[in-house]
């Protein structure tokens, strides 16, 4: 379940990206938000409401940073 939650968060972050910026497409924004919301529910289910909420936020931040950095290096390569 944890693995699925992490994957969902990553997919949610990816779908928010469009050429290095936050996507303008409403459908992508809605999709990204929905996927992240699903991940949040999974985290809350795993860890309880308060803990799950904070763990999701931290995971979102970490994965967002990783995705951005990896994207930068990938572009250079």
Partner 1 sequence: MKSITIKKLYTLHSWVGLITGILLFVIAFSGAVAVFTRPELKIWSNQEIRAEIPIQSHKIENTIEQYAQKVGPDYLEEVHIRLPSARLSETARVIYEGHFETPEGGEEHKGTVFEFHPLNWSLVSKNDMDTFFELEKYDMSTFLAHFHADLHLGRPVGLILTGLLGLTLMVSIVTGLFIHRKILAQLFTFRVSKTFSLMLNDGHKVMSVWAVLFHSVIAFTGAFLGLATVILVPAAAYVGFNGDQEKLLETFTAIKAPIVANVAQPTKLADIIDISIQKRPDLTFDNVAIMGYGDQNALVYISGDGSEQLGGETLVFHGATAEYIRTQANFGRLEGVTGKILDAMFPLHFGNFGGLLVKCIWAILGLSTALVPITGLMLWIERGLNAQNPTHSKRTYQNFNKLLIGSCGGIVLATVALFIAQLIFDKTLPEQDHTSLIFKTFFGVWLGAIILPFVIKQALALKIIILGSGLLMVLIMPLDGLFTGSHVFNVFETQHYVSVSVDLTMLFLGTLLLVSYNKMSQQRHELSTTSVPQTAIEREA
Residue 31 sits in the site that holds partner 1 (CB under 8 A): no
For the bound state, the minimum distance from the C-beta of residue 12 to partner 1, rounded and expressed in Å, comes to 13
For the bound state, the minimum distance from the C-beta of residue 26 to partner 1, rounded and expressed in Å, comes to 15
Give the tokens for residue 23: 């996507």
Within 10 Å of residue 22's Cβ, how many Cβ atoms? 10
Q: Are 47 and 55 in contact (CB under 8 A)?
A: yes
Kind and range of the H or E run holding 12: helix 2-16
Q: What residues line the site for partner 1 (CB under 8 A)?
A: 2, 16-17, 20-22, 47-51, 54-55, 57-59, 61-62, 64-65, 67-69, 71-73, 75-76
């Amino acid at each position: 379940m944890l693995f699925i939650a992490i994957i969902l968060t990553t997919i949610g972050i990816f779908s928010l990206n469009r050429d290095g910026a936050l996507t303008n497409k409403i459908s992508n924004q809605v999709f990204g938000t929905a996927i992240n919301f699903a991940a949040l529910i999974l985290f809350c289910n795993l860890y309880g409401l308060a803990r799950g909420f904070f763990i999701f936020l931290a995971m979102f931040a970490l994965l967002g940073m990783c995705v951005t950095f990896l994207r930068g290096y990938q572009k250079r390569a």
